[in-house]
Each structure stands twice: as C-alpha cells, then as structure tokens.
Amino acid sequence: MAAGEELTLSGHIQHHLTNAKMCTVDGSVVFNKACSEAGFWTWHVDTLAWSIGLGILFLWIFRSVAKKASVGVPGKLQCFVEMVVEFVAANVRDTYHGKSKLIAPLALTIFVWVFLMNLMDLVPVDFLPAFAGWVGATFFGMDPHNVYMKIVPTTDINMTAALAIGVFILMIGYSIRIKGVLGFIKELTLHPFNSSNIVVQILLIPFNLLLETIALVSKPFSLALRLFGNLYAGELIFILIGAIGLAQLPLHFVWAVFHILVIVLQAFVFMMLTIVYLSMASSDNH
C-alpha cells in the first residue's frame, strides 16, 4: 500500500494475512511485494523466525525441567511437563502397534510445537504487526503499510505442508523398513482388489496402484490442510473482530475462550493422525 493511502477493511485484512517475504531477483535480495516475480524460492521470514523460535523455546523448557527434575515434591512446571509427557506416551502406547524409539519423542515434539505455534493466535492481532511497522518506520525509514508480520506459523500453508511432508517421508521410510521395497510395491499394486487368477491380478494392478497412491498421498494433504484451514479461519475472525473498534474487547474474549479449544484440539489431532499413519505404515498384515 502506498504511503498516505487510506487503509480499508479489505486492505487491513490483506495486510494482516500477508507474510513478510524475502527472495532474490536478478541477484539482489528484495523483500515483500518485490518478491511477486521471484517464483518458488521465496522465504517467509516471519513464519521461519517464529516457528524456529518457538521450537527452541520448547526444547529449552523441556531440557531445563529434565535437568532440574527431582524425585521429591515436583514444582508446578515439572508437574505440567510430566503430565504432557505421560499424556503423549499413553496415546502412543494405545495407538502405535509397532516397535520404535522414535514415535514417542516425535509425537511429543509435534504436539507441543504445533500447540505453541497455534497459541500465538491468542496474541492481539494488531500488537506485534504494529510494533514491526514502528520498527521498520523508525529504524529503516520504511512505510509501515509495507511492513508485514504474521506471527502464527500454522496460518501459513507452507509451514503446515512442511510438517505434513516430514510425516509423509517417515511413512514411506517405515513402510520400506518394515515390509521391504518389494513388500511396499506389493502393497501398492496388489490391494485392495486381488484375485487368485494371475491374469486377472495383473489387470487389476493399475486400478490398485491408482487407489493406493491416492490414499497414500491424501494423508499428508489432509494433515496440512486441516491444520492450516482451522487456524487461518480463526485468525481471520480475530482480524474481523479487531476491525470494529472498542466493541471488539468482549467479542475478542468470547472468541479467544472458544479458540483455546481449537488450538489444543488441532495440535492433538495432528499428533494422533501422525501416530495412526505411522502405525499403519509399520503394520505388516498383508
């Protein structure tokens, strides 16, 4: 938006839902609107900064609690961390039917990390973007309207897709590890339709491959889009409420209380689906 141009409601919403971008164009590093012609290799620096920062915060808190853990009467933070660990461990025991030392730490990391990223949705929508605009204007001479800051990484489809792709790679890896390359290929080509007649079975291979490939690929898509859609919608409602002036305060409180359930539930769903998908990939029932 040009300097001095009036900020409309649609412009306000678009500004809050736009990531801070960095890319290279003709060998030069450029930012934000100049990245519209950069194509695929555009970095969303706010998503990267907040997600990495929250990941480091998660590691620091849990490491500090582990180092200070005592067998006596635990502190409140230690009790909370132990409750989270036990909650995740119980779900892994009940859901994952294979044997792997990776699943429980992975599930704990996903649950806490996604929860922390979702929790940023409760920060007032105008506070940090306005602060970023003030910093840009004060120290770098930038137009505040051209300074962007999205603080909820899970409202960025690139972040949720990256998490889902990581789970998808693990699914493929566990399938090949448990069943072998030949077993993985058989799973894709000989199910769900099969026949004792070798000719008929060969004719069924293309249909099986199509159905199994769709079922396999749909899993990371569902992971990424479910998390992104719920958090993006929640953020959009916060922005719309914030645009109505002082009357926003009671509405913000009501929506924030409800949204706490969404924040926790979406972290739990992402964790549980990850465990379920990896359990299915680790099973050797065929």
The yes-or-no answer on residue 118 being catalytic is no
Of 64, 194, 197, 222, catalytic: 222
Q: Which residue has the tokens 């736009």?
A: 18
Of 19, 208, 230, 282, catalytic: 230
The yes-or-no answer on residue 222 being catalytic is yes
Beta bridge partners of 43: 22
**115: buried, middle or exposed (CB in 10 Å: 19+, 13-18, 0-12)?**
buried
Q: b or e along 261-273 (b: 16 or more beta carbons within 10 Å of the residue's beta carbon)?
A: ebbeebbbebbbb
253: tokens are 């409180």
Give the span between the Cα atoms of 78 and 59, in whole angstroms: 14
259: tokens are 């949204």
| Residue 117 near residue 159 (C-beta atoms within 8 A) | yes
Q: What are phi and psi of 255, to 5 degrees?
A: -70, -35
| Residue 76 near residue 50 (C-beta atoms within 8 A) | no
**Residue 33: partners with Cβ closer than 8 Å, 6 or more residues away:** 146
The yes-or-no answer on residue 285 being catalytic is no
As a residue count, the chain comes to: 286
Of 100, 226, 279, 283, catalytic: 226
The residues annotated as belonging to the active site are 222, 226, 230
